[in-house]
Structure 1
């Protein structure tokens, strides 16, 4: 899902009041269930499945947590229906359905798997994925059900964030309601399929932030430094085809633990387990800068990291509401000085190092060249900008925007973020910008020479005064 990387303390370290003392193999079957007080341990020992009570909650839940830190829960089954006591039982039915029963044998939660199996088995994988399958089946595509298809607040390696376009299944994160309540909160992280698919964090139906579109190497909204990422511990990928649209990441070092968490306040954080300190280290947080707030500056603007004021109009644009703009309210954005002419000729102004705009009103093609992309945009009066879809190997593919350009960030030169974007402008406006640029270039040598002369004269005067004062002191 920028896609999809040093900071504070994990807010998801829960106080366990359960007494899970008995461990069982990594599988349960129709003849072997798991009761409250027992835990299922994955074959490699990385994860455990059992019953717990978070914080001050009085309810008990079935969940999965890390063996190295049992307070870190990554998945909860009965998020909205806690058990009232310690009589919970997890079973696999003869038909191949995973069910959680309470003291009256009422089903509190089930896997709702519709396919039957001759030899149903539920297994906790070393990836943290709880699966339901037929016998010794190892192909994930043939699993009857898996917890990775129904994430909670935690995004784990090998988990998919996005869509199964064949079945219509959406896999997305939803925050806990609070640190004591694992019920779905008001924040979610998901993949928006409109236009070129992008990962967004939402509060209800409103977008709060997005890491920028994926360009083959990184999310354009995050700084990227190739020299520090030549041997990364994580590998990221976005998959787009006729059957699926999803974002995932994998561990290149399988001995480490890494997780992304959407906390109850809506902040997405990445944690890495440090064996030396036995603690989770926060390695990134999405909303570390105000520019991560979605569309902070409005249309046709750039948000500038570590610069004040934060917002600036694109070249050839002016604030839509000057009074509001000057008072620090930028949401109305900017408008063109000169309208597009289309039939009488337009051109493009190149911006470098920018977080690409919201792609919900975009179109893309994976095989076109940048030159073909330019022509396609120029011949469509509704097209407002274009860029390479993938920047690897010199750049491939075409990404076109239609309508307003929103949620752009300008990274400083050498900052390592963003990529090139070509914004459509009226030909007369481009001429004006070019003339202004040439004028500034002509003035630059004169300014540099004047500054140098002023500096030399100042040094000479200082030297003369120093020598004169020294002679006077010697004479005295």
Structure 2
């Protein structure tokens, strides 16, 4: 008690002394003081909500003028006036006092054996943590374990099975009161993890199956489900140029927002529930809600079921749901399963999940158990079976799964007949349409031949993408959609924009031609990639690049504006990026000083997010195959954008790797299995990313690197030798300065070596790389990386050749090797 009294006297007698992002036992945060995180992303202090005069300790965005609170400590115990103090008490824990300094209004409930050394720190993630001492990274308590209404990147929701701590969002009571409201958003750990929104303790909306890439969040989402914990976490990261948050409001709406700096407001790009079928159990047990149905009734019964209350049902009240049809047996009576495609599968808390059973075995197991009413998969894998009511089923045309419902033989026969009749109608319609189309094509062909004969030449301004199937790994594109989405520019327009391709507008030269800066008639700046007539990039690669980039939309991928194909000219028109390529900075003695560690770390994050989008978030799974510094462009804000997709390959949804006899790419960046055996996968890009990461940290090129201490090693080999010797910081680019975060740099080097491991299975995925970049925890020890010796190029029999262009906007190096 005497220590606490001395501490309380210090609140009155001593002025508040606050470090930038920390405070200790002898310091306190008074009402009016503000604690700011290291990179000034978040701030902590006292605030009032709306029109209330009560005071709360909270965390908000420091760089946004419109105060946006993301976490509240004493949400249910406000300070009635401005006398509040946040401090570390004699036990070493965080407390909030009001006028009465004897009894805290709020406490973090931490008791330490050595309380005098504990320190509180506000991190750039928005997390308020209590550390053991100034030099320790051991977290004794953290605000992220007690979220309020907002979920930030790297914040978890879910259950810690060791401690019993359950993290979930709860809404505010109102705009004026951040107290615990009536809505909560939780991760349900029973069965296969799923997220559910509750209102007044009743299910209100169910997101469904939680997965590694959860479309609910619109970003890569890390799911952990093991003996220690089951949790869900967004792997995105707040930084000075990109703020995002997910908020549960008091009405029961979950929304995801991003900050629009130009408009100075939060932009909502996803929310739920919205439509009628979003609400939990809208059509009751065994009902199916379909807002896309052609009739006026959203609710229908699943096959083999009928409305429990027909009068209410046809009055659009489906609360009572459906029951099994009377007098029908589905137990060893010739029953089968009706497949219902594109569905949000029923509530998994009412199901059994077995991840080690195939779908065929799942069907047989359900069929032999008369109590089993339906089966499906959990996120396209494993086996899920239901033994009671099927609750909260609805149509999801784009992201749904197939639900197999048990029915008797009669219902199955009726369903099969209906399907055949529907197929027959579709077949007849297709034949009719094809006949009309064939007639139209015949007339057009005759007209075209006559015109060609009359003019004696082809039309100059037309181009066909009809053979794109060959260049896209067997996946045939929608030609009509591409032609409508991607503008075609006239040659005269491009020539005028580039001043007839003058040398003054030339940005650089790559393996396939030159790149020019241009200005369209409306003032828009463009970059024109003009393929030379002797270019190694043929029509196949050109079509591939046009098709791929036209279908890709991501802030870390270069955006294509159109193309020009006329006479013998083939050109791609891109958005103009004034800062050229990453190689223009990191490989130049003068320019590299413009990239401090903070900027380089943001560039690493941006490249990682771009590759994640290519590998798993876009509609197509894409392997870039030529990831390197010159193919990473920088916009006006130094945000990275991945470019040059001429060598990229599309994978089908269930395809993981492929072989090729034509190895393309750049020596020094290619993975060993690709360079030597022609086998490539997403892990090939991971290897190239590892090389690029080493180059960003060191400011050196992997190719052509020489050091007298390790004369036989390339850059990767040299850095590996320094890593083993404990001297790896010697190779860090000196232009970064002396004040860079050593642990963060060492972590990036370790991640690079994990990406450079010889065997693809040992390398992490890019989602795992992003997760590792955002955590402060021990990482796995890497094995010796592949291709340490630059001399190893001789082992390829001299067939490998490279062409290096100057630093340019779209520098492209193509290497061709015949695979063994």
For residues 321-342 of structure 1, give each alpha carbon's deviation from its aligned partner in whole angstroms, at most 9, with x where no partner exists. 2111111111122233363432
* 1:106-185 map, 5 Å: 106-117=103-114, 119-136=117-134, 142-185=138-181
Q: Deviations over 1:392-431 (max 9, x none)?
A: xxxx2122222111111113xxx41211121122233212
SS in 2 for 1:383: coil
Residue 407 in 1 paired to residue 407 in 2? no
Contact 1:23–1:41, Cα closer than 8 Å, also in 2 = no
Q: 1:252 to 1:35 in 2, by over 3 A?
A: closer
SS at match of 1:251: coil
Q: Indicate the residue corresponding to 1:379 in structure 2.
A: 368
Counterpart check, 1:289 vs 2:275 = yes
Question: Secondary structure of 2:385's partner?
Answer: strand
Query: Secondary structure of 2:365's partner?
Result: helix
Aligned residue for 1:342, secondary structure, equals coil
Q: Name which of structure 1's ranges 42-51 and 438-447 shifts more when overlaid on structure 2.
A: 438-447
CA spacing shift, 1:426–1:237, aligned 2, 3 Å: farther
- 2:691 match: none
Change (3 A) 1:339 1:247: farther
Judge conservation of contact 1:94–1:120 (CA < 8 Å) in 2. no
Q: Distance in 2 between matches of 1:22 and 1:268?
A: 39
- In 2, the alpha carbon distance for the partners of 1:199 and 1:444 equals 39
Aligned mates of 1:450, 1:73 — CA distance in 2: 61
| 2:419 matched residue in structure 1 | 437
2:301 aligned with 1:313: yes
Q: In the alignment, is residue 46 of structure 1 matched against residue 41 of structure 2?
A: yes
| Corresponding residue number in structure 2 for 1:12 | none
Q: 3-state SS of the aligned residue for 1:212?
A: strand
TM-fit CA distance, 1:444: 6.2
Aligned in 2, Cα 1:447/1:125: closer, same or farther, shift over 3 Å? closer
What is the CA distance between 1:186 and its match in structure 2? Answer: 1.0
Q: Conserved in 2, the CA contact under 8 Å of 1:95 and 1:120?
A: no
The verdict on how the C-alpha distance between 1:103 and 1:382 changes in structure 2, with shifts beyond 3 A counting, is same
Quote the residue 1:244 is aligned against.
229
Q: Secondary structure at the match of 1:431?
A: helix
Aligned to 2:98: 102
Counterpart-to-counterpart distance in 2, 1:67 and 1:366 = 45
Pair 1:192–1:96, CA change in 2 (3 A) = same
Contact kept, 8 Å, 1:50 with 1:62, in 2: the verdict is yes
Question: How big is each residue's C-alpha offset from its partner over 1:360-408, in whole Å with a ceiling of 9 and x where there is no partner?
Answer: 11111223221222222222222222222233xxxx2122222111111
Deviation, structure 1 residue 442: 4.9
Specify whether residues 22 and 85 from structure 1 end up closer, same or farther in structure 2 by C-alpha distance, changes over 3 A only: farther
Looking at structure 2, the residues matched to 137 and 191 of structure 1 have their Cα atoms a distance apart, in angstroms, of: 35
Structure showing the higher helix proportion among its residues: 2
CA distance in 1, matches of 2:175, 2:334: 58
Query: Alpha-carbon deviation of 1:122?
Result: 0.6
Report the TM-score, using the length of structure 2 for normalisation: 0.48
- Given that 2:18 and 2:29 are in contact with CA atoms closer than 8 Å, whether structure 1 keeps it comes out as no
What is the rounded CA distance, in whole Å, between the counterparts of 1:270 and 1:310 in structure 2? 27
Shift of 1:436: 3.5
- Given that 1:24 and 1:38 are in contact with CA atoms closer than 8 Å, whether structure 2 keeps it comes out as no
Question: Which of the two has higher C-alpha Rg?
Answer: 2
Q: How far apart, in 2, do the equivalents of 1:285 and 1:138 lie? A: 40
Aligned residue number for residue 62 of structure 2: 67
Distance apart, 1:202 and its partner CA:
0.9
> Which residue of 1 is the match for residue 744 of structure 2?
none
Change (3 A) 1:93 1:447: closer
What is the deviation of 1:138?
Answer: 6.2
Q: For residues 368 and 389 of structure 1, what CA distance do their matches in structure 2 show?
A: 11
Matched, 1:211 2:212: no
Residue of structure 1 equivalent to 2:577: none
Q: TM-score, normalised by structure 1?
A: 0.80
Shift of 1:31: 1.5
2:481 aligns with none
> Would the alpha carbon gap of residues 428 and 86 (structure 1) be closer, same or farther in structure 2, given more than 3 Å must change?
same
- Considering fraction of residues, name the structure with more strand: 1
2-structure distance, mates of 1:447, 1:356: 32
Q: 1:88 to 1:334 in 2, by over 3 A?
A: same
Residue of structure 2 aligned with 1:33, choices 10, 15, 28: 28
Distance apart, 1:318 and its partner CA: 2.2
Pick the aligned partner of 1:426 from 403, 408, 419: 408
Distance 2:126 2:417 in 1: 60
Q: Partner residue of 2:331?
A: 342
Identify if the C-alpha distance between structure 1 residues 352 and 443 changes in structure 2 by more than 3 Å, giving closer, same or farther: closer
Residues 1:235 and 2:232 are matched in the alignment: no
| Aligned partner of residue 324 in structure 1, secondary structure | helix
> 1:207 Cα shift?
0.8
Of 275, 278, 284, 2:261 maps to 275
Can you list the C-alpha shifts for 1:11-45, whole angstroms capped at 9, x where unaligned? xxxxxxxxxx9974111110222111111100111
Match of 2:519 in 1: none
C-alpha change, 1:323 and 1:367, in structure 2 (3 Å) is same
Contact 1:236–1:250 under 8 Å retained in 2: yes
Alignment check: 8 A CA contact 2:211 2:223 kept: no
- For residues 116 and 167 of structure 1, the distance between their equivalents in structure 2, rounded to whole angstroms, comes to 20
Which residue in the other structure is 2:289 paired with? 303
**8 Å Cα contact 1:22-1:38 kept in structure 2:** no
Q: 2-side partners of 1:207 and 1:237: how far apart?
A: 24
Q: 2: CA distance between counterparts of 1:451 and 1:302?
A: 33
Say if 2:250 is the partner of 1:261. Answer: no
The alpha-carbon distance between structure 1 residues 399 and 169, as it changes in their structure 2 partners (threshold 3 A), is same
CA shift, 1:266, in A, is 1.1
Quick one: structure 1 residues 344 and 56, their matched pair in 2 at CA, closer, same or farther if it must change by over 3 Å?
A: same
Aligned length: 413
Q: Structure 1 unaligned segments of length 5 or more: list them.
A: 1-20, 225-231, 454-476
Q: Which runs of 5+ in 2 are unaligned?
A: 1-15, 436-820
Separation in structure 2 between the aligned mates of residue 128 and residue 446 of structure 1, nearest angstrom: 61
| Compared CA separation, residues 449 and 274, structure 1 to 2 (3 A) | closer
The offset of 1:64, in angstroms, is 0.6
Measure the CA separation in 2 of the matches of 1:53 and 1:432: 64
Deviation digits for residues 89-128 of structure 1 (CA, Å, limit 9, x no counterpart): 1111243201111122131111012444452011001100
